[in-house]
Amino acid sequence: MNEILQALAEAFGDQVQVAHKIDQAVLTLPKEDIAQVVRFLKEHGFRILLDITAVDRLERQPRFDVVYHLYHLDLHDWIRLVVQVGGEEPELPSVTGLFAAANWAEREIYDLFGVVFRGHPDLKRIMMPDDWIGHPLRKDYPLTGLGPLPPLVRE
* 153 part of a folded domain: no
Render pLDDT for 6-57 as a digit per residue (tens, 0 to 9).
Answer: 999 999 988 899 898 888 899 999 999 999 999 999 999 999 999 999 999 9
User: Which residue segment(s) compose the domain that 38 sits in?
Assistant: 2-118
101 CA to centre of own chain: 12
Cβ–Cβ < 8 Å for 48, 70: yes
* 16 part of a folded domain: yes
* 23 part of a folded domain: yes
- With a CB cutoff of 8 Å and minimum separation 6, the contacts of 55 are 64, 65, 67
* 46 part of a folded domain: yes
Distance set, CA 106 to CA 59, 65, 66, 117 (Å): 23, 13, 10, 7
* 105 part of a folded domain: yes
**CA dihedral for 120, 54, 13, 45, sign (positive or negative):** negative
**Residue 83: per-residue pLDDT:** 97
Lowest mean pLDDT among 79-93, 118-132, 134-148: 134-148
Q: State the average pLDDT over residues 101-113.
A: 97
* 58 part of a folded domain: yes
- With a CB cutoff of 8 Å and minimum separation 6, the contacts of 64 are 54, 55, 56, 57, 84, 85, 86, 90, 113, 115
* 34 part of a folded domain: yes
* 82 part of a folded domain: yes
The residue type at 39: R
Q: Is the predicted pLDDT of residue 150 greater than 80, yes or no? A: no
CATH of the domain at 25: 3.30.460.80
* Number of separate domains in the chain: 1
Euclidean distance between CA atoms 65 and 135, whole angstroms: 15
